[in-house]
Amino acid sequence: MDEMNNTPIETAPAPENNGKGLGIASMVLGIVGVVFWFFGITSIISLILGIIGVVCAAKSKTAGYTGGMRVAGLVLSIIAIVGGAIAFACYACIGAAAGAAGLLA
C-alpha cells in the first residue's frame, strides 16, 4: 500500500519460467559438443558439454517445457557424450600405441 493515499501499489507480473531457455541451452551445448569431437583432445570437452546439455534438458522438462528444442538438445547431447567418449578412447589408444612404438620420443 502506498502510504500517501492508501492505494495498492501495482507490480508487474513475474515472467513465466517454463524452461524454454534451458531447452535452448541444451540444444546449443549439444551442437557445440558434437562439433568438438573432430578436434582431437577436445573430445573430452564434448563429454563435458554433453553431460551439461542432458542436465539442462532434464531441468527444462521439470520446468514444464516440452518443445522440440528440448528434445533436440537431449538427443544432440547424448550423441555428443557417446561420440566424444568414442573419439577420446580412439585418440588415447593411438597415443598409447605411438608411445609404445617409440614414435613420441
What's the pLDDT score for residue 103? 84
Lookup: cell for 53: 546439455
What's the pLDDT score for residue 38? 79
Which DSSP category does 14 fall into? P
Q: What share of the chain is helix, strand, coil (3-state, %, to 5)?
A: 70, 0, 30
Which DSSP category does 13 fall into? P
pTM of the model: 0.78
User: What is the crossing angle of helices 20-35 and 43-62, to 10°?
Assistant: 160
What's the pLDDT score for residue 2? 52
Question: Within the chain, which residues score under 50 in pLDDT?
Answer: none
Is-contact 33 52, C-beta < 8 A? no
What's the pLDDT score for residue 10? 73
What's the pLDDT score for residue 12? 67
Lookup: cell for 22: 534451458
Lookup: cell for 84: 566424444
What's the pLDDT score for residue 37? 82
Residues composing the chain? 105
